Amino acid sequence: MGYRILIVDDSEVVRKVVRKSISMSGLSVAEIFEAGNGREALELLRKEWVDIVLADLNMPEMNGVELIDQMSKDSLLVSIPVIIVSSEHSEQRIEELRKRGIRAYIKKPFRPEKFRDVVSEVLGTMGEEVASEKP
């Protein structure tokens, strides 16, 4: 049985790039869901179980930080690992997000192999240490 993955990004282009990276990663995937912002993601998460959320930060209506905060208040969603995939490169922001519970951070632009390594590490170590993006 494969993983169920939710991609959250307001850019359809990025959702397709991430979807393509997942398909190239060799991960066993059962289903990929997409949402255009945090609000759509929460609506979907209340209907569908997913193994991991890959979310952008800067989105209209509900951004990535608000999505993480909402998930952390929901007993059914709090255990789902979140990886942020963002153009923002600030180490200060990444550290703040780690304190909010994200499992890893992937900076855009990313190479497919880096994406694969980080996602595989998080999926392979659920419940263990927070994954780090390799330099």
Q: Which stretch binds another protein (CB under 8 A): 4-12, 46-54, 69-77, 120-128?
A: 4-12
Which two structure tokens, joined as six digits, stand for 11?
Answer: 């850019």
Residue 90 contacts another protein per CB under 8 A:
yes
Residue 132 contacts another protein per CB under 8 A:
no
Residue 92 contacts another protein per CB under 8 A:
yes
CA distances from 125 to 4, 42, 61, 86, 108 (A): 16, 24, 32, 22, 23
Residue 13 contacts another protein per CB under 8 A:
yes
Straight-line distance from the first to the last Cα atom of the chain, in angstroms, rounded to the nearest whole number: 32
- The answer to whether the CB of 120 falls within 8 A of the CB of 30 is no
Give residues in contact with another protein (CB under 8 A). Answer: 10-14, 16-17, 20, 24, 58-60, 86-93, 96, 107-111
